Amino acid sequence: MIKAVLWDIDGTLLNFEAAEKAAINQCFASQEMGVCTDEMLERYTKINRKYWEALERGELTKPEVLIGRFVEFFESEGLPVEKAESFNEEYQVRLGDTVVFCDNGYELVKKLKVRVKQVAVTNGTKVAQDRKLKNSKLDTLLDGIFISDVLGVEKPNKEFFDIVLKEIGDYQKDELLIVGDSLTSDMKGGNNAGILTCWYNPKKMKNTKNEHVDFEIENLWELEQILEK
């Protein structure tokens, strides 16, 4: 029986794409950099994903990711590279301003509160995640919040989960389930920790990373069926 759920935040409970688009557009306006078109945003998203995956592999540090992605993006678009640091600083704050739930996730977390322990496990920055969790009111529902910035180690590292598992209580590994959208961060992290994994895959993507997945769902509410087994 699953007794505790470890929730990823970005792309799982919260729609990261919506928050990302709003935050970048706001930063472009305030920093007087013109308009970020949808095509530009798409190119940035690919750059951003590349940097975060390098972080997950231990090839870059968090500061190198946060600033480096904007440096590369600005260079490729002919934008002022010297604004990368200030842009990122504002961006971290703006990310928490737009809250859009995936599959009405707030109501799901609220409903499951009487059934299982629920905690957040995220690689986002403390500034951004604190604001997201506060503005979404998830901080009032979850039983714990674990942010890589605070823990000093990122998903999918086993050390990240060692800290989480030590803090949340005495559970068997098969009583713990991580739910997330990322194969390289969430599923690999769950596998490294030896706990159950649930891949949230609304876009029906293929598992090209060959990570072991115990459960796969397209809608978060399918989790109820998994918990009833």
Residues 122 and 184 in one domain: yes
Dump pLDDT digits (tens) for 155-209: 999 999 999 999 999 999 999 999 999 999 999 999 999 999 999 999 999 999 9
Residue (of 207, 96, 211, 88) closest to 147 by Cα position: 96
Asked if 34 and 51 touch (Cβ cutoff 8 Å), the reply is no
Residues 81 and 107 in one domain: no
Residues 147 and 164 in one domain: yes
Q: Residue 63 sits in a domain of what CATH number?
A: 1.10.150.240
Residues 206 and 131 in one domain: yes
Residue 26 CA to residue 22 CA, distance in Å, equals 6
**pLDDT grade, residue 229 (50/70/90)?**
confident
Give the 3-state secondary structure of residue 151: helix
Residues 126 and 213 in one domain: yes
Q: What rounded mean pLDDT belongs to the chain? A: 97
CA-based Rg of the chain, rounded to a whole angstrom? Answer: 18
Residues 48 and 108 in one domain: no
Residues 82 and 56 in one domain: yes
Residues 166 and 192 in one domain: yes
Residues 209 and 221 in one domain: yes
Which residue among 59, 94, 129 closes a domain?
94
Region class of 95: left (phi > 0), else alpha (psi between -120 and 50), else beta: alpha
Domain that holds residue 34: 16-94
Dump pLDDT digits (tens) for 26-84: 999 999 999 999 999 999 999 999 999 999 999 999 999 999 999 999 999 999 999 99
| Angle subtended by helix axes 62-77 and 38-56, to nearest 10 | 150
pTM of the model: 0.96
Q: Residue 158 sits in a domain of what CATH number?
A: 3.40.50.1000
| Total domain count, the chain | 2
Which residue among 62, 94, 126 closes a domain?
94
Residue 227 CA to residue 229 CA, distance in Å, equals 6
Residues 108 and 214 in one domain: yes
Residues 89 and 195 in one domain: no
Residues 48 and 142 in one domain: no
Asked if 2 and 122 touch (Cβ cutoff 8 Å), the reply is no
What phi and psi, each to the nearest 5 degrees, are found at residue 154? Answer: -100, 155
Which residue among 64, 94, 124 closes a domain?
94
